[in-house]
Amino acid sequence: MGLFGNKTKNLVGLDIGSSAVKVCELQQLGKGTAVRFRLQKLGQVLLPPDAIVDGDIMDSNAVSSAIRQALAEQKIKAKEVAISVSGQQVMVKKVTFPLMSPAELAESVRWEAESFFPAGQGLDSYALDYSLIEERAGDGNMDVVLVACRKDKLEAYVSCVAQAGCIPKVVDVDVFALQNAYEINASNGPQDEVVAIVNMGATFTNLAMMVGGKSLFWRDMAWGSSRYSERLMEDWGLGRDSAEALKRGRAAEGREPEEVQPSINAVSDAFADELTRTLDFFKSSFKVDRMDRVLICGGGSQLQGLLDILGERLRLPVDRFNPFQLIEVDGRTEDPVTVREIGGAAAVVVGLAMRHVGDR
């Protein structure tokens, strides 16, 4: 199985995150440039703490059980799914090659990948895949995206999904799924608009940079909303459940959300520093002299004060990304309350649910 999969029918989106399993089923309407989607099913099941740590599955029974529960609760009978991976053991890189045949490209990718892996590791340890982005006859070059994932991580996810009775037909990467969700929901902006799409999960933050509607840069940052819980536990002596509640704006252990807001703001400030460094690296590496806006999603996007702090520090418009902005939500097939509750945290699973068997 390739990382991008190997077009015949829709797949169920299955996002296995560090804190929850999400499922999504979409109905595709139209084709080509007129394609649009209607939401059929959406749900999530929370995972026990430490079932997944730093993107690695530690308790496959708990994760597979959550997958089965999520599918059962949504009455999803289809078993063929699209999943995704992210984190420190997944690498994504855009590479420019001279125009060449498919066979020559396959060989060139293998040579390029040798400099891609960490010292002491190579093709034996990683699953490698690639996809042609664009051929430019004018300058005789072609742009290709390379993706590598440690085989043990990939096999652990595939095995866990199979244990839940599902068939993983496509294994994607979080940042690409995020990009898919953005592209289907993007309103018409300036042709050269530079947009950062930021998806803050519990453990990792996915970043995709879009310039004029094309993706140029992808990165997984080892930064997630769990840092807020850890800071609240440290500063206020709270248990994890209470820290999670206060982080979400609910009172716990005699504390009000307003009381602990300084601790939340301190973590948001540190995240703004990290994001600023990453965006500066992108601009210098790709010779981009400006940014137009930042769209943030994921469970962390709901944190009180985060958007204001990011906007002030980045000096850019910062808004929440709604993965259902241009997707039809029919109250007869899906509960609008569920859509609102999951909200921006569904960006990756929505992107996965757009995939088909055979996609690359």
Can you list the residues of the chain whose pLDDT is less than 50? 1-2, 6-8
In contact, 152 and 88? CB cutoff 8 Å: no
- For residues 355 and 82, the answer to whether their CB atoms sit within 8 Å is yes
pLDDT value for 360: 59
How many helices and strands in the chain, by DSSP H and E?
10, 16
Question: In whole angstroms, what separates CA 175 from the centre of its chain?
Answer: 5
The two tokens of residue 147 are 């993706």
SS3 for 331?
coil
Cα–Cα distance for residue pair 92/311, rounded to 1 Å: 27
- Write down the residue that tokens 């797949």 correspond to: 11
Strand-by-strand arrangement of the 214-221 sheet? 214-221, 205-211, 194-200, 293-297, 318-320
Residues 6 or more apart whose CB falls under 8 angstroms from that of 243 comprise 228, 229, 230, 232, 233, 236, 252
**Structure tokens belonging to residue 60:** 């496959």
Q: What is the pLDDT of residue 338?
A: 84
Q: Which three-class secondary structure state does DSSP give residue 44?
A: strand
Per-residue tokens: 52: 């997944």
Q: What tokens appear for 25 in the block? A: 């089923």
pLDDT value of position 1: 42
CA angle at residue 266 from 261 to 271, to 5 degrees?
120
Domains in the chain, ordered, with CATH?
1-88+151-187+325-360 (3.30.420.40), 188-321 (3.30.420.40)
Which of these, 314, 301, 229, 223, lies nearest to 264 by C-alpha position? 229
pLDDT attached to residue 188: 63
Residue 116 has a pLDDT of 76
Q: Residue 191 is encoded by which pair of tokens?
A: 């042709």
Distance between CA atoms of 190 and 232, rounded to whole angstroms? Answer: 41
d(C-alpha 55, C-alpha 105), whole Å: 31
Nearest to 126 by CA among 135, 116, 112: 116
pLDDT of residue 6: 46
CA-based radius of gyration for the chain:
20
What is the Cβ-side half-sphere exposure of residue 121, based on CA atoms within 13 angstroms?
13
306 membership: H or E segment, kind and range: helix 306-314
